[in-house]
Amino acid sequence: MEGPESAMAVVAGLRTPENVTCVLPRGTMFARGLKRKCWDGDEDVEGAPAAPSYSLQRQSLLDMSLVKLQLCHTLVEPNLCRSVLIANTVRQIQEEMTQDGAWQLPAPPVAGRGPLDHLVSTEILCRAAWEQQGQRPAPDLPSELPGALGAPAPGSAQSCIWEADSSRGHRGSFPKSLDQIFETLESRAPSPVEGLFADAGGPYYDLDAVLTGMVGGKSGPGGGDGLQALAPAGAPPPSASCKRDLGELDHVVEILVET
Amino acid sequence: MAGAGGGGCPAGGNDLQWCFSQVKGAVDEDVAEADIISTVEFNYSGDLLATGDKGGRVVIFQREQENKSRPHSRGEYNVYSTFQSHEPEFDYLKSLEIEEKINKIRWLPQQNAAHFLLSTNDKTIKLWKISERDKRAEGYNLKDEDGRLRDPFRITALRVPILKPMDLMVEASPRRIFANAHTYHINSISVNSDHETYLSADDLRINLWHLEITDRSFNIVDIKPANMEELTEVITAAELHPLQCNVFVYSSSKGTVRLCDMRASALCDRHAKFFEEPEDPSSRSFFSEIISSISDVKFSHSGRYMMTRDYLSVKVWDLNMESRPVETHQVHEYLRGKLCSLYENDCVFDKFECCWNGPDSAIMTGSYNNFFRMFDRNTRRDVTLEASRESSRPRASLKPRRVCPGGRRKKDEISVDSLDFNKKILHTAWHPADNVIAVAATNNLYIFQDKVN
């Protein structure tokens, strides 16, 4: 397995946006069912201009996809469709690699921090923009991972709501995260993708319920037949949108305080 | 089945020749992000053409009445109204900005002198009323011409105010604001044929609204899994049937379209029809799902067909046949070999729209390098045209373009590697009755017409 340096090189090599010409020859475009070299663990590229092996191509696609998933530090919410499509691509590659036996699961987490640490890093990177919203610790993560959980202390959640610029302050942690990205690539942590949407379910789900007004034990998508489906969506309507924002704010602060 | 590639022949029925008519927008190379056009839409009569941009502004153009003394200015579009529809907002809960970019504009059918349209950003839909004022009243009793109140003791006689003409003023005012119903980003709005309701769709849910009621909406589709880790598919577009007010369709990121009947149940989680073309196993790759993701779905005006746009093709479906489309048109098949690069630079996630002409005999969609493609369904011919300032002399005919997929490049052909992937035509619109088209090229709006003989 190539080390982090070559993974970086492959990813870096693909990253020039002006380079429209596909790095990988057209005939070898990851088509399944095409005859390909037996994966033998030898990843030497056979001469600089020659076609990289299928495995190398697949690996670089996986690496590129992981980078894409993790670089979602934006001020605006990342595009969900794009994230889902990339995550599905990663899953497909992982499945195929598992079938090939190319997917090496890391040793069981006896050593404690290792793989979990990487899982957490991935989550953190994708949550960076929303991590201010109530530092509810995920219940299944051991509590002694303060480093990975990063700078924002729970107490700052409240202040973040009031300071529009707080999200910018956390950008400073980004360069550190790059190391975490490549750590992840190196160890091939299983399904970092699983962590991607995990947190979106947690606090989001409650906020979701609040914002769309569908609270009160609604049993989920299928259960809303009849009158429940006609439940009013949207917070109770104050006259000005300013009042509405403050109303939501109060509601949210209540939730944060209660949990 | 229509063939691939450009045939150099005009499309749009009866050997149409497309000509440049107008271009709107700044000329300089430096494009301000806020000026990038994000939606284009003709109204029901075609007299009004609305554009929305990333800065949250709406600009409406009106077609000039044909003037006998100037026969060549055959219905030019000039600015009618400009207003700021949406402002940037900040979501304090998530510490994220809510973009003011206008994702979609949909006109309401005209019912009186005023015009109404719906415009939406990622989270909020607004109903705008655009009305004209060309008279004002003079001669009030209680106030004088400056607006100051007159001293009641000085009023000795009563008079009837008189209406006097004034310069035409076009006013846009927000009449309804439909907010707080979408957790995810709104990608579509669609006005119902009952003229009373409309739907809005985000990545995971579709809501049905009544135009008069802003404090509640009905959730009619919800594909959010109980556990978000299981999310593998999102809604990409939705539209109501043009004639049957109980029918709508929504497309997904997996290349499927579901048709739902609102009479069946309040929550339309079970589809009435499911449209999916079986995958061709020989062309399967890791990019198969991404390029099958549908970016736009449009019913034909007749309501009998619908069209879907995925990354490389446009497909026409007969609503009575779910197993496969009746037509498939290749938009830029030469990009199939470049998918890796296009994935790397995110172009593969570009959302191209598509549109029908009035009689449903032709369809149009955009591509890269400011190219757009038109397919004539009757003659099976297609053409590639370019929206550029170079061919922007009045009534200049547009020359068909050809892209050379590889190998030897013929004269006048453009090689795939020379295409500018930053010049994308995502939004196009076709006049509901005439052969007039509007093409948005980044921050410029091009209007083309067929040649008047």
Residue B360 φ/ψ region, left for φ over 0, alpha for ψ in the -120 to 50 degree band, beta for the rest: left
Q: What is the mean pLDDT of chain A?
A: 50
Helices (H), B312-416: 339-344
Residue A248 lies in a domain: no
Dist. CA B151–CA B413, nearest whole Å: 79
- B204, B265, B281 ranked by CB distance to A225: nearest: B265
A121, B82 contact by CB (below 8 A): no
Q: Which domain holds residue A87?
A: 53-103
Residue A169 lies in a domain: no
CA distances from B326 to B6, B159, B307, B317 (A): 20, 70, 10, 5
pLDDT tens per residue, range A149-172: 333 333 333 332 222 333 343 333
Domains, in order of start, for chain B: 18-450 (2.130.10.10)
Nearest C-alpha neighbor of B119 from the set B185, B189, B187: B189
Q: Which of A76, A130, A251 to mutate to test the interface with B (most CBs of B within 10 A)?
A: A76
Residue A59 lies in a domain: yes
Task: Answer yes or no: is pLDDT of A236 > 90.
Answer: no
Three-class DSSP labels, B7-48: CCCCCCCCCCCEEEEEEECCCCCCCCHHHCEEEEEECCCCCE
- Subunit contact A33:B284, Cβ cutoff 8 A: yes
Question: Which residues have a Cβ under 8 Å from the Cβ of B389 and sit 6 or more positions away?
Answer: B23, B27, B444
Dist. CA B334–CA B354, nearest whole Å: 19
Dist. CA B72–CA A164, nearest whole Å: 54
Q: Is B112 on the interface with A (CB under 8 A)?
A: no
Tell me how crowded residue A231 is: count the other CB atoms within 10 A of its CB.
16
Residue A113 lies in a domain: no
Residue A180 lies in a domain: no
- Subunit contact B98:A76, Cβ cutoff 8 A: yes
Q: Over pLDDT 90: what percentage of chain B?
A: 78
Host H or E run for residue A210: helix A192-212
- B180, B218, B229 ranked by CB distance to A230: nearest: B218
Dist. CA A241–CA B180, nearest whole Å: 10
A186, exposed or middle or buried, with CB in 10 Å at 0-12, 13-18, 19+? middle
For residue A83, list its beta bridge partners. Answer: none
First to last CA, chain B: 32
Helix (H, G, I), strand (E, B) or coil at B446: strand
For residue B236, list its beta bridge partners. Answer: none
Dist. CA B54–CA B25, nearest whole Å: 14
pLDDT tens per residue, range B17-73: 899 999 999 888 888 999 999 999 999 999 999 999 999 999 999 999 877 666 655
Residue B30 confidence (pLDDT): 86
Which residues on B lie below 8 Å from A24 (Cβ)? 340
pLDDT tens per residue, range B80-98: 999 999 999 998 888 888 9
Residue A95 lies in a domain: yes
A59, A7 contact by CB (below 8 A): yes
B contact residues 30-69, partner A, Cβ 8 Å cutoff: none
Residue A108 lies in a domain: no
Host H or E run for residue A184: helix A174-187
pLDDT tens per residue, range B307-358: 999 999 999 999 999 999 999 999 999 999 999 999 999 999 999 999 999 9
Residue A70 confidence (pLDDT): 80
Dist. CA B159–CA B139, nearest whole Å: 7
Residue A14: closest C-alpha in chain B: B344
Dist. CA A221–CA B248, nearest whole Å: 19
Q: Could you tell me the pLDDT band of residue B171, with boundaries at 50, 70 and 90?
A: very high
Q: What is the mean pLDDT of chain B?
A: 92
Dist. CA A160–CA B251, nearest whole Å: 37
Question: Which residues have a Cβ under 8 Å from the Cβ of B160 and sit 6 or more positions away?
Answer: B139
- B90, B217, B339 ranked by CB distance to A164: nearest: B90
Number of domains, chain A: 1
Residue A23 lies in a domain: no
Dist. CA B194–CA B172, nearest whole Å: 24
Host H or E run for residue B205: strand B205-210
Dist. CA B50–CA B60, nearest whole Å: 4
Question: Which residues have a Cβ under 8 Å from the Cβ of A139 and sit 6 or more positions away?
Answer: none
A220, A159 contact by CB (below 8 A): no
Dist. CA B299–CA B239, nearest whole Å: 8
**Both tokens of residue A13?**
């090599």
- B180, B203, B218 ranked by CB distance to A81: nearest: B203
Q: Is B292 on the interface with A (CB under 8 A)?
A: no
